[in-house]
């Protein structure tokens, strides 16, 4: 073992989280898996590990990607490391035993291959008691329409991370309108470049800033739906 090798187990929580940010930056998958397991063993909740160690680490990666310090191959390694941590947390988040609240179909729009945020939303929705059908990345409108017909969900979720792909959400919603389907579903949209105004402009029911907001918004719509059914 090299003298300067870091023993993750020996670090304090704060140092370990800091180290995980560095390891995510360096795309070190196994270290991220180890760090995730150690924090779990120390009693951290899956949600705190997700937000404080993984999402925060990816935020730092995003800054240096934007500034031309990191490039696509490096960021891909970071993304893979992040996904490895998320894979460990996923069953724990889904295991809450929450009663079934509804069903959501979610996918990243055509032209866009970013899926970490979408996956995170899917995981948190499962944890809150939703059945989630994940359409993956790069979805043309046909994929969404087929999935709506096949799965009959309560909610359609769309994700976009690029300013060039986010307008495609309007294509999907407009097509739903043309086919008379729009009002059959709650449409939620999200992704880093979006905002409230954009959500309204494309005709979505709501813009969700992050996965926690997506869960709260989805629950809120399901409550309203049940109240309407009870009243009608
Ligand atoms: Co990309 N990329 N990328 N990238 N990438 C961004 C988005 C960028 C902002 C980086 C930058 O310049 N600062 C920039 C976009 C600029 C713009 O459009 N204005 C960018 C670019 C330019 C590109 C390429 C064009 C680079 C190139 O090829 N030259 C290329 C495009 C590929 C394509 O899609 N066609 C590209 C490629 C890639 C990688 C493949 C290397 C990799 C993706 C790997 C993967 O996803 N499997 C990647 C990554 C990792 C990023 C950054 C660094 C991180 C994204 C991420 O995972 N964040 C990103 C920088 C950034 O966003 N600041 C960047 C962590 C994640 C948890 O957050 O996805 O925002 P986020 O999700 C949040 C919320 O937004 C929300 O909840 C999530 C959880 O809280 N949310 C939803 C997301 N979807 C939702 C759906 C909902 C609700 C909420 O539905 C209901």
Helices 72-94 and 116-127 meet at what angle, rounded to 10?
0
CA distance to 103, 104, 165, 173, 174, per residue, from 140 (Å): 21, 18, 11, 12, 13
Q: What is the pLDDT of residue 3?
A: 56
Ligand 1 lined by 208 (C-beta under 6 Å)? yes
CA distance to 38, 53, 200, 220, per residue, from 48 (Å): 13, 8, 31, 23
For strands 130-134 and 186-190, give the pairing. Answer: unpaired
Tell me the two tokens of residue 80.
């893979």
For residue 6, how far is its CA from the centre of ligand 1 (angstroms)? Answer: 30
The ligand 1 atom at the shortest distance from the C-alpha of residue 165 is 18
pLDDT in tens, 49-104: 999 999 999 999 999 999 999 999 999 999 999 999 999 999 998 876 777 899 99
Ligand 1 lined by 110 (C-beta under 6 Å)? no
CA distance to 62, 73, 171, 190, 193, per residue, from 26 (Å): 13, 11, 38, 27, 25
For residue 103, how far is its CA from the centre of ligand 1 (angstroms)? Answer: 25
For strands 130-134 and 206-208, give the pairing. Answer: unpaired
pLDDT in tens, 155-194: 999 999 999 999 999 999 999 999 999 999 999 999 999 9
93 neighbors 46 (Cβ within 8 angstroms) = yes
Cα gap 146→78, rounded to integer Å: 33
> In testing the pocket of ligand 1, which one of 62, 102, 107, 130 has its CB within 8 Å of the most ligand atoms?
62
* Cα torsion 63, 67, 72, 73: sign: negative
The pTM for the full model equals 0.94
Cα gap 2→85, rounded to integer Å: 25
pLDDT in tens, 11-61: 999 999 999 999 999 999 999 999 999 999 999 999 999 999 999 999 999
| Structural domains of the chain in order of their starting residue, each with its CATH number | 7-98 (1.10.1240.10), 100-232 (3.40.50.280)
């Amino acid at each position: 073992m090299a003298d300067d090798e870091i023993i993750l187990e020996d670090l304090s929580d704060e140092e370990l989280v800091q180290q995980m940010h560095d390891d995510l930056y360096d795309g070190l998958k196994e270290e991220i898996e180890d760090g995730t397991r150690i924090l779990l063993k120390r009693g951290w909740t899956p949600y705190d590990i997700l937000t404080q160690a993984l999402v925060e680490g990816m935020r730092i990666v995003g800054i240096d990607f934007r500034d031309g310090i990191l490039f696509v191959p490096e960021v891909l390694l970071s993304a893979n490391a992040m996904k490895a941590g998320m894979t460990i947390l996923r069953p724990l988040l889904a295991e809450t035993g929450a009663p079934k609240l509804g069903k959501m179909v979610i996918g990243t729009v055509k032209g866009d291959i970013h899926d970490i945020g979408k996956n995170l939303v899917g995981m948190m929705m499962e944890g809150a008691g939703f059945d989630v059908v994940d359409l993956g990345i790069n979805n043309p409108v046909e994929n969404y329409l087929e999935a709506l017909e096949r799965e009959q969900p309560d909610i359609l979720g769309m994700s976009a991370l690029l300013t060039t792909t986010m307008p495609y959400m309007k294509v999907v919603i407009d097509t739903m309108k043309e086919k008379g389907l729009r009002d059959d579903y709650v449409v939620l949209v999200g992704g880093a470049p979006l905002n409230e105004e954009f959500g309204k402009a494309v005709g979505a029911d709501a813009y969700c800033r992050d996965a926690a907001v997506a869960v709260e918004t989805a629950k809120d719509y399901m409550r309203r739906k049940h109240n309407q059914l009870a009243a009608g």
